[in-house]
């Protein structure tokens, strides 16, 4: 157990990518991405994939390694990531993991939760309700049946929303109740580093990032992907709003504001998710990198003893 996985967490646009690269360079190691939006090679601008310069600064894994046409689950990612970690730990004592997808990070660190099988007809009915009544009707239903999950999961993602609802309806229990199983055993130790900021600053950074995405050609990227908008990988903030615009449901200015609003809502849920984790060592996003690295080294030394 002399192997360590340092996981960098925090809300979107907080600076996780930059910090993970600094850590990887300091420890002369490699980075595993657990950002479920950045797996797909067809999605680049809207997922804030690290730049060519950033990718060259340290070896990265699970960045644009899949296609939107692949059926890729968190369970498969857990297996793939653990296999890659076994390889990396043969040459490194420390590996960095980074990403805003708490569910995917938790799968690597603690294993997946068990969820019961439910009648497929429930999902069929929920999908029909989504089509006829819209996503807000499902969100209200989940808020009533399982307020804990409503505040924690990505409720703007229809796939995850329906997954939670079908569990509630099919089992008679809340989705949250199935997420408390004992941790899986791992052959490495875990250290978690979190970046935080005041909410208003966090929201300003999000708004700025969206503006930059638009300048870099997010609308054109969405146009290329529009004919595939039904795919699960594209049911995500930044694309869904532009698909609505391309269908004539809104103008571009409204779509951009919706992206900002929904990204802020997503960040709020990330904060809620991370607040539950008492193992995270928090730093202000403006903290000197050298200080964070020094504190991380101290955490490693403490964990070894």
Q: Give the span between the Cα atoms of 273 and 151, in whole angstroms.
A: 8
Q: Which backbone phi and psi does 13 adopt, to 5 degrees?
A: 70, 15
Is 17 annotated to bind a ligand? Reply is: yes
- Which distant-in-sequence residues (6+ apart) come within 8 Å of 43 by Cβ? 37, 49, 68, 221, 225, 233, 234, 239
- Which distant-in-sequence residues (6+ apart) come within 8 Å of 250 by Cβ? 241, 244, 258
* DSSP state string for 150-195: HHHS-TT-HHHHHHHHHHHHHHSS-TGGGG-PPPPP-SSEEEEEEE
Is 57 annotated to bind a ligand? Reply is: no
Q: Which backbone phi and psi does 280 adopt, to 5 degrees?
A: -80, 130
Is 75 annotated to bind a ligand? Reply is: no
Q: Give the span between the Cα atoms of 63 and 13, in whole angstroms.
A: 17
Q: Give the span between the Cα atoms of 133 and 195, in whole angstroms.
A: 38
Q: Give the span between the Cα atoms of 12 and 36, in whole angstroms.
A: 13
Is 148 annotated to bind a ligand? Reply is: no
Is 16 annotated to bind a ligand? Reply is: yes
Is 167 annotated to bind a ligand? Reply is: no
Q: Give the span between the Cα atoms of 71 and 81, in whole angstroms.
A: 16
Q: Provide the token pair at 277.
A: 């984790």
185 exposure class (CB count in 10 Å sphere: 0-12, 13-18, 19+): exposed
> Is there a contact between 72 and 66 (Cβ–Cβ < 8 Å)?
yes
Q: Which residues are annotated as a binding site?
A: 10-17
Q: Which residues are annotated as a binding site for ATP?
A: 10-17
Q: Which residues are annotated as a binding site for substrate?
A: 12-17
């Amino acid at each position: 157990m002399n192997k360590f996985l340092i996981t960098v967490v925090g809300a979107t646009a907080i600076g996780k990518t930059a910090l993970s690269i600094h850590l990887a360079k300091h420890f002369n190691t490699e980075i595993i991405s657990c950002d479920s939006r950045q797996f797909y090679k067809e999605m680049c601008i809207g997922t804030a994939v690290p730049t060519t310069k950033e990718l060259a600064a340290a070896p990265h894994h699970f960045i644009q390694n899949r296609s939107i046409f692949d059926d890729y689950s968190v369970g498969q990612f857990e297996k793939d990531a653990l296999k890659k970690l076994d390889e990396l730990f043969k040459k490194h004592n420390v590996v960095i993991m980074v990403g805003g997808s708490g569910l995917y990070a938790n799968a690597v660190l603690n294993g997946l939760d068990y969820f019961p099988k439910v009648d497929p007809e429930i999902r069929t009915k929920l999908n029909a309700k989504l089509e006829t009544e819209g996503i807000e009707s499902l969100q209200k239903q989940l808020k009533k049946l399982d307020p804990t999950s409503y505040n924690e999961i990505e409720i703007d993602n229809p796939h995850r929303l329906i997954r939670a609802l079908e569990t509630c309806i099919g089992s008679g229990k809340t989705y949250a109740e199935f997420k408390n199983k004992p941790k899986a055993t791992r052959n490495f130790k875990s250290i978690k580093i979190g970046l935080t900021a005041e909410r208003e600053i966090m929201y300003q950074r999000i708004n700025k990032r969206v503006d930059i995405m638009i300048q870099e050609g997010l609308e054109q990227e969405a146009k290329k992907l529009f004919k595939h908008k039904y795919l699960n990988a594209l049911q995500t903030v930044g694309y869904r709003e532009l698909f609505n615009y391309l269908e004539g449901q809104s103008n571009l200015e409204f779509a951009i504001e919706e992206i900002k609003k929904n990204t802020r809502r997503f960040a709020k849920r990330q904060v809620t998710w991370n607040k539950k984790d008492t193992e995270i060592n928090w730093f202000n996003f403006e903290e000197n990198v050298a200080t964070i690295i020094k504190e991380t080294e101290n955490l490693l030394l403490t964990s070894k003893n």
